[in-house]
Amino acid sequence: MSIYDFSVKSAAGEDVNLSDYKGKVLLIVNTASKCGFTKQYEGPERMYEDLKGDGLEVFGFPCNQFGGQEPGSDSEIQEFCKLSFGVKFPVFSKVEVNGENAHPLYQYLKAEAPGVFGTKSIKWNFTKFIVDRNGKVVKRFSPKDSPEKIKSEIVKIIKN
């Protein structure tokens, strides 16, 4: 099994196969519009703009499992991301990241890159995963790790 075995739903409800992104470095983030970390949309968008030509793709996955901080519909979330932060990277359909209804992609990400002390659950919004060009999940970052802090890690992976 690899990251390329999964498909996700676009905000418009269309299937998107992650195999379409083979050879790209992926930054995958669970997002929320009404969270203290919501300003972190800015960092991934800047990285996307700066590094897309070098092979970076950023994926946002809205999730309402943490304090009900992503209550909107997929279309409302899209509008918020574009108007508030100028987001151009794909923000997919809302998913669950923990529990029995966790999206299979997130089940895989958590198994491949557990958190501190080997914990698999995601603790909060804006947990970040980096996937290398070969589809290997190489690192997990906590919500407290700002996008600016992880940019050097992403650049290293892009250059390898």
- Name the nearest CA neighbour of 35 among 73, 8, 9, 72: 72
What confidence tens digit (pLDDT) does each residue in 60-94 have? 999 999 989 889 999 999 898 888 888 899 999 99
Residues annotated catalytic, as ranges: 35
Q: What share of the chain is helix, strand, coil (3-state, %, to 5)?
A: 40, 20, 45
| Count of domains forming the chain | 1
Whole-structure pTM value: 0.93
Instruction: Give me the pLDDT at residue 34, please.
Output: 84
Looking at the chain, the whole-number percentage of residues with pLDDT higher than 90 is: 68
CATH number of domain containing 108 = 3.40.30.10
Instruction: Give me the pLDDT at residue 48, please.
Output: 94
Cα angle value 25/125/80 (rounded, 5°): 85
Boundaries of domain holding 118: 3-159
Tokens (6 digits) for 30: 């669970």
